[in-house]
Structure 1
Amino acid sequence: MKKIILGSAVLLLLIAGFSFHPIKDWQSKFVRQTKNGSLQYTPDEKGNIIPDFSRVGYYHGDKEIPSIAVVKTLQPSSNSEQEIQAAIDELAKRTLDKAGFRGTILLKKGTYKINGTITIQESGIVLRGEGDDTKLIAAGTDKRPLIKVTGKGSIKEVEGSRAKITDAYVPVGTFSFNVANARGFKKGDKIIVSRPGTKEWIRDLKMDQIVERKGTKQWQPEEYNLRFEREITKIEGTKIYLDNPIVMPMEAKYGGGEIFKYTFDGRIAHVGIENMYFESEYLSDTAENHAWDAVLFDKIENGWVRNVIARYFGYSCVNLSGGAKNISVLNSNCFEHKSVITGSRRYSFNNDGQQNLFMNCHATDGRHDFVTGARVHGPNVFVNCTAKRTHADIGPHHRWAMGTLYDNIVTDGEINVQDRGQMGSGHGWSGITQVLWNCTVKRSAVQSPYGVSGNNYCIGLKGEKVAGHFKDRPEAI
């Protein structure tokens, strides 16, 4: 594992495959770099710290993304879509090797016309081009993803495995807590850290008092039963240690928390999309009847998208749905969206999943270029990314994203973390433990929700700080 300095070279993360030299003599009252290059975090009066965002992306950065051997090579043809899908389906029948891969399908240079969606539903398949000269054109007038990578099923609780968290307050940034009974758990177990939604919590956030307009929905407790995916790294008595930190406090006054083991039968792994160019046909600059996503991932873990370009899509270059976990999106670009400029469009790099990394990505003409949706469970990271000619803002979009780092994001628009109130259908507070670190913006509003469930942070910002949609909301740290 290699150390790197991200952002304007001040926040040290541990992500395999990239290496920069540490920068000397930088200071923050929240985190400081020690002589050996490690980070030391300063807790607040409750023990909360800025969490460690290093363990995101492909295998948490513990493994480099591999180069998988080519087992099938295709050339452009008048039947490209069927040939690509047939090659994927054929490869899916192969036995996985010891590393969990089946092989790579190489698309040689040229133009491949795709009228539908290329679908990958099995583990261990890599789809690779020869760079920008391998062009996949989403033809026709259907709104769809060009490439869809998805497994099956959903998270299922292992019956009888629940254990109550006994600590009255589990602070942000900690990797451990005590439970009533640790018997039945072991190192390596995949668990859910569960936090209930309660009326008291919503009341203190004032999300049952959203100023209404037509279509506004007040927050409901049952919609905020939060489930963070974690793995046990160690057990000492009743103390459970995790592979990733807590990014939202567990508080007895709001119902505390529990852990339980889970399965996700049907979730796939080890799929990569790399080294190619995607383009959508369109009828006009505001056309809506054409391809929406270049690449869509769901129900997959430990995969990647790297070195791709998407042009003229209505929604995204890469869209990670809620079942996508530990995905690395690297060195990719989303240019010149084509759609009406309004809601639910032009989300260049969208993340609804957990423990995902977007690094060295760039966008033009988008709305929400680096964005999370509702109830997105962190940690998640956007780092070293740019956005130009923006039509809206970067940041958590609505209804409580938890634990996101925006590190060295440069935009000619805005990055906002705020109470969005009645925007949309009642967006409300967009997130908690949202960290802006050395970002460059035209303007930015960063607020914290009344001291409820932690804080948001804005450190090293270059650009104008503004009050936000509601000027009376508390300012972030």
Structure 2
Amino acid sequence: MTAPGPSGGDDTASLQRAIDTAAALPLDAQGFRGAVRLAPGRYRIGGTLRITASGVVLRGSGGATVLAADGARARTLITFGNTASYGVVGTPARVADAYVPVGGTALTLSSTAGLTVGSAIVVERPTTQEWIDAIGMRGIFTPNWSLRFERRITAISGNRVTLDVPLTTALEQQYTQATVYRYTFPRISRVGLENLSADGGAMSADPAYATGFHNAALWEFNAVEDSWVSNVVARRFGGAGQTGLGPQSRRVSVLRTQMLDMITTDSSARSNAYLLQGQQNLVRDCQVTATKVHAFTTYGRQAGPNVFSRCTATLVQTTYDSGGHQRWGSGTLYDQLSVDGSLLLVNNGDRGSGHGWSDANSTAYNCVTEGYRVQGPPTAHNWAFGCTGTLLDGSDGEIVSPGTPVLPASLYDQQLADRTP
């Protein structure tokens, strides 16, 4: 359906009605309800548009369609999905292996009762004080969180199961007892934002913009899977993550997007361009221009894997770093990035609110930087292959071919080809 054209006033309500009309349609065999097409012109958005049903796409008519923030209030212009919580189905089984390595896909369980090939499961790895001590994070990390790897069983042999996607953090019985269980987790799917432009400049007039976590963002994905953003150009946004792929997002692709002329503040914590959380998410072919920004970053306690690939950041004044921001961002691939500034896969110690090891089992691959630092966490790894720029002091991670790119040109492309029938 085609939404009404721009009214000259606040268009939030009319666009939300069009979205809600599409959301009321039945799902088709492919899991879609319909697309809401926006006409060319400048739509003024005084509130927040919300897509909370599966199979709804918001589609512009190309760059001539502009979603413009209206009013001096910092916010997210479009949110996808609500938040959710895990529900355990049946009795969790213990992982019986003394050690399952990074990249592991096979687990021996105390029981496979209730599990079948195709079962959607969680591999839960609780954080313990023993592990925190082993990685040197006493007083920085606290044992009140878990990594939850959402996976699918592809084979069962006795009490041994095979997973569809490798683990990004090792399971070490000396530090923690991992479990496996079937689960429920309500998500919406097959929602998208595509083929338009956006302007967030009006939000920078918010009196709290420069002092608070203002979050002047274009989009945010909550409990969403198998969805996308494509062909979107955004100007003059700021805040904590323009690519707001939150911790409950999964298999979301952000393709061919630009975050230009970002309006950021003096606080590094409030200046992220593309922020990845969740698991199995992809940001590719993106561009950032800003004065001060963490261009490509992750927040912590994420199960991964996640990918930044073939993205460029041009910083016109002060350079900030890219890389994991805090608390064990696990299994991130930084593939063919070009960054004005530094790329850091490091221990941030007590920086900020106590960020500690911010990347673990992550890889920088054929990245072009002013400088890069790759450190090796205890019990884990970080790698750099073929990266150019100054190799910074303290890089005790696994460094291969510094200053000279390696083949294949893109690790993401090669892995995709390897797993595609």
Matched, 1:127 2:58: yes
1:277 to 197, 200, 204: 197
User: 2:321 maps to which residue?
Assistant: 393
**Deviation readout 1:286-324 (Å, 9 max, x if unpaired):** 975487111111111111001101111122432111111
Contact residue 122 and residue 151 of structure 1 kept, 8 A: no
**SS of equivalent to 1:294:** strand
**1:167 is aligned with what amino acid?**
D
Contact residue 121 and residue 150 of structure 1 kept, 8 A: yes
Matched, 1:100 2:62: no
Larger mean Cα displacement after TM superposition, 275-284 or 434-443: 275-284
Matched, 1:412 2:331: no
* 1:15-94 alignment runs, 5 A limit: 71-78=1-8, 79-94=10-25
Matched, 1:112 2:43: yes
Supply the distance in 2 between the matched residues of 1:93 and 1:288 (Cα, whole angstroms).
Answer: 37
**1:219 is aligned with what amino acid?**
F
C-alpha change, 1:169 and 1:284, in structure 2 (3 Å) is closer
2:362 to 434, 441, 451: 434
1:378 Cα shift? 0.7
Matched, 1:301 2:225: yes
Supply the distance in 2 between the matched residues of 1:412 and 1:329 (Cα, whole angstroms).
Answer: 21
Supply the distance in 1 between the matched residues of 2:3 and 2:81 (Cα, whole angstroms).
Answer: 23
Supply the distance in 1 between the matched residues of 2:76 and 2:136 (Cα, whole angstroms).
Answer: 37
Question: Matched residues, percent identical?
Answer: 37
1:180 Cα shift? 1.5
**Deviation readout 1:227-280 (Å, 9 max, x if unpaired):** 111111221221111111011111111124211111013x11110000110101
1:147 Cα shift? 0.8
**1:117 is aligned with what amino acid?**
T
Contact residue 321 and residue 341 of structure 2 kept, 8 A: yes
Matched, 1:381 2:307: yes
2:111 to 137, 158, 181: 181
1:204 to 117, 128, 134: 134
Contact residue 281 and residue 291 of structure 1 kept, 8 A: no
Q: Which has the higher contact order (CA 8 A, sep 6+)?
A: 1
Supply the distance in 2 between the matched residues of 1:282 and 1:458 (Cα, whole angstroms).
Answer: 40
1:152 Cα shift? 4.4
User: 1:22 maps to which residue?
Assistant: none
* 1:253-332 alignment runs, 5 A limit: 253-265=174-186, 267-282=187-202, 288-289=208-209, 292-315=216-239, 316-332=241-257
Task: Give the length in aligned residue pairs.
Answer: 390
User: 1:445 maps to which residue?
Assistant: 373
1:436 Cα shift? 0.4
1:283 Cα shift? 7.6
Unaligned segments of structure 1, at least 5 residues: 1-70, 210-217
1:376 Cα shift? 1.5
**SS of equivalent to 1:387:** strand
Supply the distance in 2 between the matched residues of 1:284 and 1:255 (Cα, whole angstroms).
Answer: 46
RMSD (Å), alpha carbons: 1.8
1:282 Cα shift? 3.4
User: 1:244 maps to which residue?
Assistant: 165
2:154 to 213, 233, 250: 233
1:156 to 87, 93, 96: 87
**Deviation readout 1:39-76 (Å, 9 max, x if unpaired):** xxxxxxxxxxxxxxxxxxxxxxxxxxxxxxxx334322
1:403 Cα shift? 0.4
TM-score (norm 2): 0.89
Supply the distance in 2 between the matched residues of 1:274 and 1:167 (Cα, whole angstroms).
Answer: 45
1:80 Cα shift? 2.3
Contact residue 367 and residue 388 of structure 2 kept, 8 A: yes
Unaligned segments of structure 2, at least 5 residues: 400-421
**SS of equivalent to 1:74:** coil
**1:299 is aligned with what amino acid?**
A
Supply the distance in 2 between the matched residues of 1:296 and 1:375 (Cα, whole angstroms).
Answer: 18
User: 1:219 maps to which residue?
Assistant: 141
1:127 Cα shift? 0.3
**1:297 is aligned with what amino acid?**
F
Matched, 1:334 2:259: yes
1:429 Cα shift? 0.8
Supply the distance in 2 between the matched residues of 1:336 and 1:122 (Cα, whole angstroms).
Answer: 32
Supply the distance in 1 between the matched residues of 2:93 and 2:342 (Cα, whole angstroms).
Answer: 42
User: 2:408 maps to which residue?
Assistant: none
C-alpha change, 1:140 and 1:284, in structure 2 (3 Å) is closer
Supply the distance in 2 between the matched residues of 1:339 and 1:394 (Cα, whole angstroms).
Answer: 15
Contact residue 359 and residue 382 of structure 1 kept, 8 A: yes
Contact residue 146 and residue 291 of structure 1 kept, 8 A: no
Larger mean Cα displacement after TM superposition, 74-83 or 399-408: 74-83
Supply the distance in 2 between the matched residues of 1:302 and 1:385 (Cα, whole angstroms).
Answer: 21
Supply the distance in 1 between the matched residues of 2:90 and 2:195 (Cα, whole angstroms).
Answer: 43
Matched, 1:462 2:388: yes
C-alpha change, 1:291 and 1:394, in structure 2 (3 Å) is closer
Supply the distance in 1 between the matched residues of 2:384 and 2:362 (Cα, whole angstroms).
Answer: 8
1:206 Cα shift? 1.2
1:367 to 283, 293, 314: 293
Supply the distance in 2 between the matched residues of 1:425 and 1:73 (Cα, whole angstroms).
Answer: 44
